[in-house]
Structure 1
Amino acid sequence: MSNFYWKAGSLLGLSSVGLAAFGTHGLAKYVNNDTTKIGNWKLAAELQFMNAVTLLVLSSIPPSVRRIHPAAMPCILGGALAFSGSIYLLTLKRDQFRALGPVTPLGGLSMMAGWACLLL
């Protein structure tokens, strides 16, 4: 299981760096320099990266000493994908992906649930 989350965290980290670079160097022309959309994109990339690092750290703890609630990593991964992914899509094509609007806060709640699981 930790190998899956190591790879997922690595992929999230890799893609967040690329998406952040696009947000800094190319997004403005697609969103008519809309500072709100650019800020939303930046937040999505930052949270994606933070949760990528979290997955890498959690998955690197040896199973013999790991005392992590089993829902923590799935909630963090799913939440990061839902939260950041929906923001990217809504930023680029709001009308086409309008139905994903409720996914963003659900993704945020899922990330929060994953972090809360770390308290258990």
Structure 2
Amino acid sequence: MTAKTGIILAGLLGFLGVAAGAFGAHGLRDRVGPRELEIWHTGAHYQQLHAVVLLAVALWALTLSARGEPTGLHGVAMSLFVAGIAIFSGTLYAITLGGPRVLGAVTPLGGLCLLAGWLTIVVLGLRQVT
């Protein structure tokens, strides 16, 4: 994933995360139970948090790219964060809205993508020369 794509996706996912949080607080409050609302808010929280991380990694990659330095692992980290948000938060939203509970078995795959994104940042930090 390129830095430009990462920045654009970070903006979109951040926007949608705020919208999801607001929808949960105002649109779902009287339509679902407290447990479902908690599930929805967990999805929105993780989406917003990782959209910010995605933006940080994209800006980091943009800076390195401008200096002619490689950014391949940055693209891997960004892709993992996008996949993690889509799978983790997406399945939580779907479950809250009445989707099949079996999606709960898929949710951890999104969490694993998010964890792998963070570990990729660790590797990037360890490779940092300066």
Q: Report runs of 4+ in structure 1 exceeding 6 Å deviation.
A: none
**Percent same amino acid at aligned positions?**
34
Q: Is the 8 A contact 1:90 1:98 kept in 2?
A: yes
Counterpart of 1:15?
16
What secondary structure is seen at the aligned counterpart in 2 of 1:71? helix
Is 1:53–2:56 an aligned residue pair? no
After superposition, the Cα gap between the structure-2 partners of 1:24 and 1:66, relative to the gap in structure 1 and judged at 3 Å, is farther
Question: Deviation at 1:98?
Answer: 3.3
Counterpart of 1:39?
38
Q: What is the identity, as a one-letter code, of the residue corresponding to 1:49?
A: Q
Question: Deviation at 1:29?
Answer: 2.4
Counterpart-to-counterpart distance in 1, 2:6 and 2:45:
19
More helix by share: 2
Structure 2: unaligned runs, 5 residues or longer: 124-130
- Of 106, 110, 113, 1:103 maps to 106
What secondary structure is seen at the aligned counterpart in 2 of 1:28? coil
Counterpart-to-counterpart distance in 2, 1:39 and 1:68:
36
Question: Deviation at 1:18?
Answer: 0.6
Q: What is the identity, as a one-letter code, of the residue corresponding to 1:98?
A: R
Counterpart of 1:6?
7
Structure 1: unaligned runs, 5 residues or longer: none
Question: Deviation at 1:68?
Answer: 6.8
Aligned residues: 116
Counterpart-to-counterpart distance in 2, 1:77 and 1:101:
19
Q: Which one has a bigger Cα radius of gyration?
A: 2
Q: What is the identity, as a one-letter code, of the residue corresponding to 2:89?
A: S
Moved more, 4-13 or 69-78: 69-78
The normalised TM-score by structure 2 is 0.82
Question: Deviation at 1:67?
Answer: 5.9
Question: Deviation at 1:101?
Answer: 2.3
Provide the alpha-carbon RMSD of the alignment.
Answer: 1.6
Q: What is the identity, as a one-letter code, of the residue corresponding to 1:6?
A: I
Counterpart of 1:78?
83
Q: Is the 8 A contact 1:72 1:117 kept in 2?
A: yes
